[in-house]
Structures are given as structure tokens and as C-alpha cells.
Structure 1
Amino acid sequence: MSSLRSWATPLTVGSFLIMGATGVLMFFHIETGLNGFIHEWAGWAMVAGVGAHLAMNWRAFKIYFKRPLAKGIMGVSAVVLLASFVPVSSGGSPVQVVMQAIGQADVETVIALSGQELETGLARLADAGFSTQADTRVQELTGGDRGQQMQIIEVLFSE
């Protein structure tokens, strides 16, 4: 048990800091670089840390199953987790649907939607640091980064 104690809680705290910070960035769609990738992998580190922490403190943890508030919080969390697996038939918010469509579209199509000539749009993108070809999909150009996708939209649709 003493070997668990030396790393379980520090791993839980460290992975929580990473998950919390990157999760907030992702919530506000301002993640950049490796935020999404690190968030996903830090989740695995957190699972390992919390699992070891629970194993180390199991006797104390069992007491929470006797407290109504603690049981309620854990129960609501379990229900929210189960609800996350329910398929949503509406397709999501209109903004999310449009963002997904833009991500799947090629650069030429997005430039055409902006009302610009192809050469002008490509030049504006290049000036903003996005050197690309007309047939490149926006998602490929941005690596799936929504913040960069928003930059592309801003560059092409601003006056």
C-alpha cells in the first residue's frame, strides 16, 4: 500500500489539473495545439490515479455509501453518465451542425460561400497563416481544431 500512496494521489491531482484546464478550454472552444490530445490521455492517467486512490482508501470510501448526500451525488452522476449514451436524434445545435459541415467541406466551397473569388480567399488564408489548396478539407487544414476553424471563418467572412 505504501507504494500506491507515493504516486496515486499526486497522479490524481496532476491529471485533474490537466483535465480541468483543458476541459474548460474545450468547453469555450479555445483549445489549441495539443489540448484535445492531452485531455484524452490525461483522462487515462486520471482513471489510473483515482482507481489506485480508491483501492488505497477503500475502507474510508465505503462510509460515503451510508451518507444520503454522498449517495445522491454519486447516483445523479451515474444517471448523467447513463444519459450520455442516449442517442440524440435532433443532430445537435444548428451551430454545431454548420461547424461540422464547414469542417467537412473543402476550402474552395467555404470560400465560395463567403462570396469571394477563389484566389482572393486563398490569399487571405495564406496571409492569416493557412497555406492550402482549394481541394483541401477544412478539417484537414486545421487538424480538427475548432479554434483554428473559427479563425478560418473569421478570415473569410469578415469584411
Structure 2
Amino acid sequence: MKKFLFVCIALFVFKSANAQYRGQTDNKNIFLSLGAEIGIPSNTPYNLTYGAAAQAEIKLMPQLGLTFSGQYTAYNYKSSLLANSDAEKHPSFIPLKAGLKYYTSPNFYFGGELGSTVQSNNGTGNMFVYALGFGFDVPLDKHSDIEIGFAYQNYSASQYQTTGMRVAYRVGW
């Protein structure tokens, strides 16, 4: 945990040092990102979620972006429960969401998304999904960033609630 905290602080310091590199003169309007996600479920028989996500963002104003995202998320059972039951496959979902990102500074944002998801391993009906979170971008060069985000995601089936982290490579033009 100490190493994770150190890495987050180091990235934040690096981001602050490079803030002048892009700042308010950044005129890119379209961004695409691809990344990995990991999370901790709340009040469930699962102990971990993991997956991948892709996101497109279109800047509506300098501080506001419209987002469209697709994910693949799998839930991992707690080992103690799995050993004592005839559990089915780990549930996995494919959420499709749209939302907004509000930038409080050139590289820090708050966001929210709404959408629909389907359980991919048995194709059961759609569930409503929403996510609320925040994150920051670590500039790599003029056109790319590493995006680090933290979010709470909840499905209409109340047993699927997750607090997670996303690390993605983001390109803008």
C-alpha cells in the first residue's frame, strides 16, 4: 500500500511539474483512451473486479467534455465462498455508458456516466449502470497522456457495486 501511495504522489508531483507544458493553450477537442481497470466490490460475495475499458471524449467547452465508454468487467469470487459452493462462472459485464467530464484544472477532472450493461457470460437482460469519479492526466508529450481515474460504479442489481481505479493511455488531436 505504501508503494502504491508513493507512486500516486510521484505521478501527482510529475503532473504538477509538467502543467506548464500543455495548460490553457491545449486546443485538442477529441480524445481516445484504452486502459485497464481494477476494483473492490462492496457487500458482495466477490473480492475483486478487473477488466478493460475504452473511452472517447469530445470537448464541448474548454472545461467540459462529453464521454462515451465501453468496458469489460469481471467479478472474482472470494475464495472461501468458492470452495464451499458449486459456484457458476465468475459474472462478467459489458457496460456501455455516456457522460460528462468537468475539468477543474487542465489536468484534473470530476465525471459522471450513465448507461446500460448486459451480463456477458449468460446474456441476461439489461441493467442500469452509473459511475461517479475523479481523475487526472499525466502528460507524456504534446498528444498523449496517462490517465489515472478513481470511480464508484453501481448496477441496478444492488449486489454489483465497485470502487475502482483505471489507468489508461490517452491520445488527443
Q: Normalising TM by the smaller chain, what interval?
A: under 0.3
TM-score, with length taken from structure 2: 0.22
TM-score by length of structure 1 reads 0.23
CA radius of gyration, larger in: 1
